[in-house]
Amino acid sequence: MSEELKKLLEEQNQAFADFKAANDERLKAMAEGKAVSELEAKTEKINTELTRLGEELKEVAKKANRPGAPGEEQDALNEEHKAAFEGFLRKNAVAGLAEIQVKAIQVGVDDSGGYAVPTRLDRSILQLLRDESPMRQVCRVMTIGGENYERLVNLGTAASGWVGETDPRPETDAPKLAKITPVMGEIYANPASTQRALDDMFFDPAGWLAEEVAFEFAKQENLAFLFGDGDNKPKGLLTAPMSDDKDDARPFGTLQTIATGNATGWPTTAPADTLLSLIYGLKRGYRAGAFFMMNTLTLATIRKWKNDKGDYLWQPSMQAGQPSLIFGYPVVENHDMADVGAGSIPIIFGNMRRTYTIVDRFGIRVLRDPYTNKPFVHFYTTKRVGGLLEDTQAIKLLKVEA
């Protein structure tokens, strides 16, 4: 364990101990009818510090998991492609690049003249996307080679029954199958550099491009995977039909909502029971691999809650790269999730890998443009990505309503 990581974990544990003490003091003062404004401010200050430390721990884990560490071996063809692509980025040197590209990754040059990024850089961008996008961290992600992809889903309903040993076997109904396909869209980013920077031998153009593109893609993707309307972008998870009907009463493709019991926020008594309703509303087989997803503001509120034994429901992560826990289930923070408010859906609970699949079309393409905005050189970068809603029984949604 690095000294940086050890120090952060120690600071987080101390901050959580201070938070519990401050919040206990606040609750005691409230029960005694005393003024609590100063205690509330103290509690919120420590709560904010816990959030900051959690973010720093995530960053440490990201750095440790970055691809392309020294000593990583690559075959000669990929190295040749990488070197040729860097020449394209720096000087627009394209001689032979198309042929190398075809040999290295079996992808030709598109009609616009854009070039596909090398495999190693492609994987680096996708890894960076996973680091930056909470949805990519928890959903199933697959890569396809062509435009079309479809899956068949068994909706059950095959008939069965009991018969005697010598009784005739009546024909049963066949199971019903549904065909589902991802809604695809093309996402783009257009980062700019200067030719002077590109000429600098100490400047890493491929690494710079990967980080710039991943940051922009992640912002757009994460929002689309939750709320995308399917118009030139993926169809988002939370745009699916919703109902408060239970699993055996909802049609295929409809998500179940569970109400907070208060039209504008948390219930005034036992608010944590709403989280238990989410957990036990999910079939037992789905709970393995299940987690909570919410934004930081919602999590900051839940940190103050206790169970009937006086223990805090939220427990901090004990190591970098591992999430904090609520009722023993991991918590994934997603800043695009809604705040608690009338009609909002602030929390998802369930197994997202079984619910939603992110589909990447193989190949990220770059078009170099030194002309449009001189003296800057733009790199118009595109990729195809889609979303596919699969098993809608695998998650539950908390909805703020009576």
Q: Which of 64, 85, 111 finishes a domain?
A: 64
pLDDT at 10 (0 to 100)? 86
Token pair in block for residue 150: 């479809």
Cα–Cα dist 35/33, whole Å: 7
Q: How many CB atoms lie within 10 A of CB 281?
A: 18
Cα–Cα dist 270/277, whole Å: 12
Please, which pLDDT band fits residue 70 given cuts at 50, 70 and 90? very low
Cα→Cα distances 132→137, 293, 388, 391, Å: 9, 15, 20, 25
Q: Are the beta carbons of 269 and 311 closer than 8 angstroms?
A: no
Q: How many CB atoms lie within 10 A of CB 398?
A: 24
User: Model-level pTM?
Assistant: 0.79
CA angle 156, 397, 327 (to 5 degrees): 105
Within a domain: 319: yes
pLDDT at 74 (0 to 100)? 41
Within a domain: 123: no
Q: Which of 28, 48, 64 finishes a domain?
A: 64
Span 124-157, pLDDT tens digits? 888 888 888 899 999 999 988 776 788 777 666 5
pLDDT at 165 over 60: yes
What is the percent of the chain where pLDDT is above 90? 48
Within a domain: 234: no
pLDDT at 69 (0 to 100)? 43
Within a domain: 309: yes
Distance of CA 199 to the CA centre of its chain: 36
Q: Are the beta carbons of 383 and 364 closer than 8 angstroms?
A: yes
First to last CA, the chain: 48
Q: Which of 47, 64, 81 finishes a domain?
A: 64
Please, which pLDDT band fits residue 380 given cuts at 50, 70 and 90? very high
Within a domain: 95: no
pLDDT at 285 (0 to 100)? 92
Sequence-separated (6 or more) residues with CB below 8 Å from residue 151: 179, 180, 181, 388, 390
Q: How many CB atoms lie within 10 A of CB 279?
A: 17
Instruction: Give the total number of structural domains in the chain.
Output: 2
Within a domain: 115: no
Token pair in block for residue 342: 């009338």
Can you give the residue range of the structural domain that contains 310? Answer: 239-356+393-399
Span 195-242, pLDDT tens digits? 989 988 788 888 898 888 988 899 999 999 999 999 999 999 999 999
